[in-house]
Amino acid sequence: MLIGAHVSPAGGPAKAVERGIEKGARAIQIFNQNPRAWKPTVYTHEQVADYRRAAQDSDVDALLIHAVYLLNAASEDPDIRDKTLTSLTASLRAGDALGAVAVVLHPGSAKTGEVGPAIERAGALIRQALDDSEHCALHLENTAGAGGTLGRSFQELADLIAAAGGGPRLGVCLDSCHLYASGYDIRTPKGLTAVIDEFDAVVGIDRLGSLHLNDSQGGLGSNRDRHADVGRGELGEAGCAAFLSEPRFEDLPVVLETPGPDRQGPTREELALCAQLRRKGRRRKR
């Protein structure tokens, strides 16, 4: 398991590697554009080369690119759809250039409309973005279930993958906070095992490509997307240990998106805690 953190790419993607090293990260996740603006970032050949050198000389073995939250692949608004397609395609092309494991995408929202047609709209846009890029995978992230967000259940994730063409580049990123908030009780090894068994039956374990570890401020089924630091929320240390030691997660990158004690994101100490919890969880499974 490659335990890591979301970090800033300010100054270029090579700087993200430096920030990952400072935290003791084996995996890093970045936004490849300003998360508050629509304009995509296109990395220069020099920036790409700098990143690849920095990553090669480090213990950072996996990069995830998180598509910005402005995107809504299910939107009915032509302008939003055009901007979403442009941004998502740019993220996938950045992933191609940098050798990212995947781009992680919140699939979008039906708003107040019907879910079925929204899934079809999202699938069509995702398929176009994949057609307009080369080989970087796209991982659809499960959502906490607020409003009309798509990906609230394993069935919705499976339907989104099918609507997007079902190709081999399509995968899933499971977020622990979102799982719990959308009603999947993963606080114990037994509960997590049952949940991942269900995921395997509905989506297929071969589609699982990355993970987000976040504790949850909200309760089970609260539909609240509110991250807490590891061990400081409803999952607690026991629930986070169960997540970190699930055997089917063994080879995956797991990225923390926690607020941190000073609201500056995950710390080196929190990543070290995750390593301890993983060892503790694995001992309990023996």
Which residue is listed with tokens 């910005």?
68
Average pLDDT value for residue range 5-19: 97
141 is in an annotated binding site: yes
246 is in an annotated binding site: no
Which 8-state DSSP code applies to residue 149? B
227 is in an annotated binding site: yes
135 is in an annotated binding site: no
Rounded CA-CA distance 50/46 in Å is: 6
Report in angstroms the alpha-carbon separations of 256 from 96, 110, 148, 273: 23, 27, 25, 12
Average pLDDT value for residue range 222-239: 96
Rounded CA-CA distance 34/197 in Å is: 37
163: which 2 tokens? 């609507």
What pLDDT score does 283 carry? Answer: 83
Q: Where are the beta strands (DSSP E) in the chain?
A: 2-6, 27-30, 62-66, 102-105, 137-141, 170-175, 208-213, 215-216, 227-228, 253-256
Given a contact cutoff of 8 angstroms between Cβ atoms, the answer to whether 225 and 155 are in contact is no
What pLDDT score does 285 carry? Answer: 65
159: which 2 tokens? 């339907």
Which residue type does 46 have? E
- Tell me the pLDDT tens digit for each residue of 146-164: 889 999 999 999 999 999 9
112 pLDDT band, cuts 50/70/90, is confident
257 is in an annotated binding site: yes
- Tell me the pLDDT tens digit for each residue of 135-144: 999 999 999 9
What pLDDT score does 52 carry? Answer: 97
225 is in an annotated binding site: yes
Average pLDDT value for residue range 78-83: 97
Domain ranges of the chain: 37-44+62-285
Q: What is the CA radius of gyration of the chain?
A: 18
**Please, what sign has the CA dihedral across residues 175, 176, 178, 184?**
positive
Rounded CA-CA distance 122/149 in Å is: 11
45 is in an annotated binding site: no
Rounded CA-CA distance 116/138 in Å is: 21
Rounded CA-CA distance 278/227 in Å is: 20
178 is in an annotated binding site: yes
Q: What is the dihedral of CA 28, 32, 34, 38, to 10 degrees?
A: -140
Question: Which CATH code of 3.20.20.150, 3.90.1280.10, 2.40.50.140, 3.40.50.720 fits the domain covering 37-44+62-285?
Answer: 3.20.20.150
- Tell me the pLDDT tens digit for each residue of 161-180: 999 999 999 999 999 999 99
